[in-house]
Amino acid sequence: MKVTVLLPTCQSEKYLQETVHSVLCQTFSDFELLIIDDASTDNTLEILDRFQDPRIRVMQGPCKGLAEALNKGMQCAKGKYIARIDSDDIMTPQRLEKQVVYMDTHPSVVVCGGWQQYFGLSTFLHAPPESPQQCRANLLFRCDLCHSTLMLRKEVFLQNRLFYNSNYAAEDFELWTRVLDFGEIANLSEILGYYREDGKSITSQKKELLSQQQSKIVAATLRRNLQMKLSQQQQAYFTSGKNALFKKRKKAWTDLQKLLREIYWTNRKIQYYDENSLLRALDAEWGVLRYHTPFILSTKKITLQTLFRKRSYFEVIYIKIKSFCKNYRGIRRKYIRLCKALKR
């Protein structure tokens, strides 16, 4: 069998039928749909029974959370490749066909993803970079991949015990940083899936956990790939959101610049990252931390001399407005929240 589509479920009745239908209607036919259900008590299993399709295989999950459900699915998959999909997302009809062709012709690539179009309360287009070099560099700081569009080379994952770590809320980000030691990650520069934004937000506690773990993942990646050990303060720089350390601006900005330069010069010796791709990633991360702009790769050539250029107030505003107008992320969601607030 060529592909196992891996779908974890847990209380997934609301959108599951639409998701499964998008899988069964693929133009590529040599696949199984492996569903790992973590003890759903709603109508999830009843919905799956209605399909009566021999390609569907349902297994009871370990009931230890998403990471362990995915790990079980990876070990039980029959396909050469594993294609991920979540229970409220949708595949484009030719997704599997296009990814299989790419994986068959690019043996060094162990993970292939694509773009993901948000729908519902957002029309944001998540378009991660195509080249393996830029994907590798971006993963130093950000999980710039669309998890629900990814196809994995199963043999590489199982042979090297590349499983999701349930100790991380950002279990996917942490995994991809380790995968890079065994192969490349790339993306097709086209929409392969649709991500449903229905207004369900994560809890503030999980947001805080994700924020803290992001900095730990960055520190672990630097230690593993460039043999760099960050101090606690340096690690805290990469905590997502507005960083309280930067209230002491001059000292913090100077230290951060020094650290980013050290990353550049250390990589020149080790050459783990492509130099131009790393400079673009460093430039984007500097924009996020220093100016609170989105993580956007510059279209201009970045050098070490231009990396820390001063960005004027109007330039920063322009970048934010351009990003907002291009992505339209959450306009309806924010509008609904504003209306509710005004009614109080």
| Distance (Å, whole) CA 70 – CA 72 | 5
Residue of 102 and 202 predicted with greater confidence: 102
Every domain of the chain with CATH number 3.90.550.10 lies at 3-197
Q: What sign has the CA pseudo-torsion 321, 143, 185, 33?
A: negative
Question: What pTM does this model have?
Answer: 0.90
Tokens of 112: 């292939």
18: CB partners within 8 A, 6+ apart = 90
As a whole number, the mean pLDDT across the chain is 90
Q: What is the CATH number of domain 3-197?
A: 3.90.550.10
Q: What is the pLDDT of residues 55-73, one digit of tens each?
A: 999 999 999 999 999 999 9
Residue 91, classed as helix, strand or coil, is strand
Q: What is the pLDDT of residues 150-208, one digit of tens each?
A: 999 999 999 999 999 999 999 999 999 999 999 999 999 999 999 998 766 555 566 77
Q: What is the pLDDT of residues 106-129, one digit of tens each?
A: 999 999 999 999 888 778 889 999
Tell me the pairing of strands 151-153 and 109-120.
antiparallel
Cα-based angle 122, 169, 292 (whole degrees, multiple of 5): 55
| Distance (Å, whole) CA 185 – CA 170 | 18
Ramachandran category for residue 64: left, alpha or beta (phi over 0 → left; psi -120 to 50 → alpha): alpha
Tell the residue number behind the tokens 């994995």, with chain if given: 152
Interior/surface letters 301-314, b for 16+ CB within 10 angstroms, e for the rest: ebeeeebbeeeeee
Tokens of 191: 């929409």
* Count of CB atoms situated within 10 Å of the CB of 161: 8
